[in-house]
Amino acid sequence: MNIAIVGYGKMGKLIDKLATKAGHKIVSTIDSKNMDKLSSLSSSQVDLAIEFTHPEAALQNYRTLLEKGIPVVTGTTGWHDKIEEVRTLVSDNNGAFFYASNFSIGVNIAFKLNKILAKLMEDKLDYSLIIKEVHHTTKKDSPSGTAVSLAEQVINNNKHKLRWMNAETSETDIIPIISERVTDAKGYHEIEYDSTIDTIKIIHNAKSREGFALGALSAAKWLIGKEGMFTMEDMLNED
């Protein structure tokens, strides 16, 4: 694949390294210092763009790329309030768009377990629920997109949980998400159901960022030749 990397921070650099090692060609690397290069990209030279930037920049990046006919894989979070606008962009341009709050295969297995457990715990009202996440100090969004996905999965599978908040709370219909930022954490997520009798937990602890980068590259290969909006669930559930 001929790949453009939009967002050249830690993830962008790691994707560059792993993609090159796998035999792919990095046509362009773009960040805030040379964002003008984005408008010069062409679908004749780029098979796909992998985008890891910031929520404030993401929507315009998607617009530029999709209008040029360039498929997009994005790991940027915090823009999902604009998802209908992105859906329209994809449809109007007959585009291909793959988004994930987390590209790790392990995290996406945890997502499946979280949905099952949420349903099982729906009427176990003696248990309190809390979601915890720990990331590196340079992470811009809080809570993490993965933590938000976990909370929304619970809300969709438990009639007693109506919303989440990024703080502790005693209100039982609200899911508290506790965020912590420490030096060089790779990504830790924990879903905890606690009672006076016992505690049930699902934990995913990333040991390196490689899993996220490899997942993004797998998504890129999977997206080539497709049209529409897709998630990790689409890729993992495909026969």
pLDDT band of residue 208 (cuts 50, 70, 90) is confident
Task: Count Cβ neighbours within 10 Å for each residue of 21-45 and write b for 16 or more, e otherwise.
Answer: eeebebbbbbeeeeeeebeebeeee
User: Is the per-residue pLDDT at 238 higher than 80?
Assistant: no
The CA-based angle 150-110-59, given to 5 degrees, is 50
What does the DSSP 8-state code read for residue 36? Answer: G
One domain, residues 109 and 191: yes
Tokens of 230: 């897709």
Query: In this predicted structure, what is the pLDDT of residue 138?
Result: 80
Q: Which of 10, 37, 115, 139 is catalytic?
A: 139
- Answer yes or no: 54 catalytic: no
pLDDT in tens, 142-183: 899 899 999 999 999 999 999 999 999 999 999 999 999 998
Both 197 and 228 in one domain: the answer is no
Q: What's the CA gap between 92 and 86, in Å, rounded?
A: 10
Tokens 């408008």, located at residue: 39
Total domains in the fold of the chain: 2
What are the two backbone dihedrals, phi and then psi, of residue 52, each rounded to the nearest 5 degrees?
Answer: -135, 90
Q: Does 168 share its domain with 126?
A: yes
Peptide bond between residue 143 and the one before it cis (omega within 30 degrees of 0): yes
CATH number of 172's domain: 3.30.360.10
The lowest-confidence range among 25-34, 62-71, 138-147, 179-188 is 138-147
Same domain, 201 and 117: yes
* Structural contact between residues 59 and 90, judged by C-beta atoms closer than 8 angstroms: no
Give residue 236's pLDDT: 85
Q: What pLDDT, on a 0 to 100 scale, did the predictor assign at position 102? A: 87
Please state the separation of Cα 89 from the chain's center in Å. Answer: 19
- What dihedral angle (degrees, nearest 10) is formed by the CA atoms of 104, 110, 114, 117? 170
Residue 239 has pLDDT above 70, yes or no: no
Are residues 192 and 125 part of one domain?
yes
Q: State whether 6 and 96 are in the same domain.
A: yes
Range of the domain at 126: 105-205
Asked if residue 140 has pLDDT above 80, the reply is no
The answer on 65 and 33 residing in a single domain is: yes
Q: Percent of the chain beyond pLDDT 70? A: 100
Q: Known catalytic residue: 139? A: yes
Confidence at residue 45, expressed as pLDDT on a 0 to 100 scale: 94
pLDDT of residue 209: 84
Average pLDDT, the chain: 94
Rounded alpha-carbon distances, angstroms, from residue 115 to 41, 152, 157: 40, 10, 6
d(CA 55, CA 149): 16
The one catalytic residue among 24, 68, 135, 161: 135
Distances (CA, A) of 75 to 80, 100, 162: 12, 5, 26
* Residue 1 pLDDT: 95
pLDDT, residue 101, reads 85
